[in-house]
Amino acid sequence: MPLSPLPAFLTQRHGELHVEDLSLDSLARAHGTPLFVYSQAAMLQALGAYQRGLAGRSHLICYAMKANSSLAILQTLVRAGCGLDIVSGGELERALAAGCAPERIIFSGVGKTRAEMRRALDVGIGCFNVESRAELAVLDEVARAVGRRARVSVRVNPDVDAQTHPYISTGLKDNKFGIAHDEVLDTYRQAASCSGLEVVGIDCHIGSQITQAAPYLDALERVLDLVAAIEGLGLGLRLHHIDFGGGLGIDYRGDTPPAADALWAQLLQRLDARGFGDRQILIEPGRSIVGNAGVCLTEVLYLKPGEHKNFLIVDAAMNDLPRPAMYQAYHRIEPLRARADTAPLTWDVVGPVCESGDWLGRDRELAVQAGDRLAVLSAGAYCMSMASNYNTRGRAAEVLVDGARATVIRQRETAADQMRLETPLP
């Protein structure tokens, strides 16, 4: 697949890669590597495409914070009008710390605990996206015990093939997510009979890194069929909102997902044609907001040319950026400074972690020397939020760029930080 032009926030100036108005090499020198650098303008621009697409409609864009849950990024998006989609008690606390109004928080996930439910009810979140009948019963019990009614939406599994990596497809019968199509009406009957619950919506999320409009259109038709059936049950149910989940893909390697505004123009047309244009629309985008707004900077430690393979050993690794190891994902890799004095060679870009799966890119043509720095592109989503301390490596630092201003939004983690919660034996 041919590579696309660089994302708009990355430009080549005088042979150096810049993010907005700042040289990435200068940022790497100032803050060390590995370093995540995010462009505020890029994420606001991505959000803007959804806001344009849904303008004039009652809607709530709940950024799926699992994609990147940095407090500063959450604040940026919340201040720009986002609600948040959370999947754990930890994310709930972060969402509140970032200043998100509780009623603009929705809670997804198949394994919510009673304690998480209680806390979410105490602060008054907007909606629970319930994923099983057993969860519905527990939520009812917890809500009654604390004297509240939980607003619920049932996450349906529409059995639509999102045509994405099997690990990130969620809307097929074989996936653990959502309530099977055939059980949806009974689930709404159950919900309607629970005094601790208030039915407010329906929800569906079919997967991630979806690069075509067709799966969304299929899912929409199925969900609307269900809305009609639910409201026809004679239980007096009227669904206030319809949540279409997230999942829109980004360009990693010449991928061409539809633009959010264009996709929504199509979806809204169908929604209106089916007579449901008056419902509030919720969406839960993650990757498409932050994915291409971030890069991970890394320094070349050693060149290790070999008979069969040339290895470029860099200081970022699978613990910082797990997507290649987990999904064989492709992330474009670019030198921060162009080099005229070195012939390009084909390299496997690998990290220092003791696993053969610790690679960031394979067979990459690069002209580099030890000490050079590289940018791993499309690293704004599911990189830092999936980072670990494997090999007792500290998590990377993070910088948010706004024009010519760079703000350190997370310090580099030290070994002492990692040991803070442990109790050594006497």
Ligand X SMILES: N[C@@H](CCCC[NH3+])C(=O)O
Phi then psi for 401, rounded to 5 degrees?
-105, 135
Structure tokens at 355: 């696993």
> String of b and e for 91-124 (b: at least 16 CB within 10 Å)?
bbebbbebebebebbbbbbbebeeebbbebbeee
Q: With binding defined as CB under 6 A, does residue 208 bind ligand X?
A: yes
Q: What is the distance between the alpha carbons of residues 319 and 324, in angstroms, rounded to a whole number?
A: 11
Minimum distance from residue 135 beta carbon to ligand PLP (Å): 14
User: Out of ligand PLP, ligand X, none, which partner does residue 171 contact, by CB within 5 to 8 A per kind?
Assistant: none
User: Out of ligand X, ligand PLP, none, which partner does residue 285 contact, by CB within 5 to 8 A per kind?
Assistant: ligand PLP
Q: Which residue is nearest to ligand X (CB)?
A: 382
Q: With binding defined as CB under 6 A, does residue 168 bind ligand X?
A: yes
User: Out of ligand PLP, ligand X, none, which partner does residue 284 contact, by CB within 5 to 8 A per kind?
Assistant: ligand PLP
User: Out of ligand X, ligand PLP, none, which partner does residue 108 contact, by CB within 5 to 8 A per kind?
Assistant: ligand PLP
Pairing mode of beta strands 83-86, 105-107: parallel
Phi then psi for 273, rounded to 5 degrees?
-60, -30
Q: What is the distance between the alpha carbons of residues 168 and 209, in angstroms, rounded to a whole number?
A: 8
- 41, containing H or E segment: helix 40-53
Q: Which of 66, 373 has the CB closer to ligand X?
A: 66
Q: Is 354 known to be catalytic?
A: yes
Minimum distance from residue 66 beta carbon to ligand X (Å): 6
Site string for ligand X, 79-108 (x = CB under 6 A): ------------------------------
Site string for ligand X, 65-84 (x = CB under 6 A): -x------------------
Q: What is the distance between the alpha carbons of residues 130 and 313, in angstroms, rounded to a whole number?
A: 45
Minimum distance from residue 67 beta carbon to ligand X (Å): 8
Is 355 labelled a binding residue?
yes
**Site size with ligand X, rule: CB under 6 A:** 9
Q: What angle do CA 323, 326, 329 make, to 5 degrees?
A: 45
Residues 302-331 that bind ligand X (CB under 6 A): 323, 327
- Residue of 82, 204, 296, 354 with catalytic role: 354
Ranges assigned E (strand) in 58-217: 59-64, 83-86, 105-107, 127-130, 150-157, 179-180, 197-203
Is 114 labelled a binding residue?
no
Structure tokens at 19: 């993010």
Minimum distance from residue 93 beta carbon to ligand X (Å): 20
Q: What is the distance between the alpha carbons of residues 283 and 204, in angstroms, rounded to a whole number?
A: 9
Is 327 labelled a binding residue?
yes
User: Out of ligand PLP, ligand X, none, which partner does residue 323 contact, by CB within 5 to 8 A per kind?
Assistant: ligand X
CB of 297 closer than 8 Å to CB of 24: yes
Minimum distance from residue 151 beta carbon to ligand PLP (Å): 17
DSSP H helices in 166-213: 184-192
Structure tokens at 67: 């994609």
Annotated binding site for pyridoxal 5'-phosphate: which residue ranges?
A: 247, 284-287, 382
- Site residues, ligand X (CB under 6 A): 66, 168, 170, 208-209, 323, 327, 382, 386
* Catalytic center residues: 354
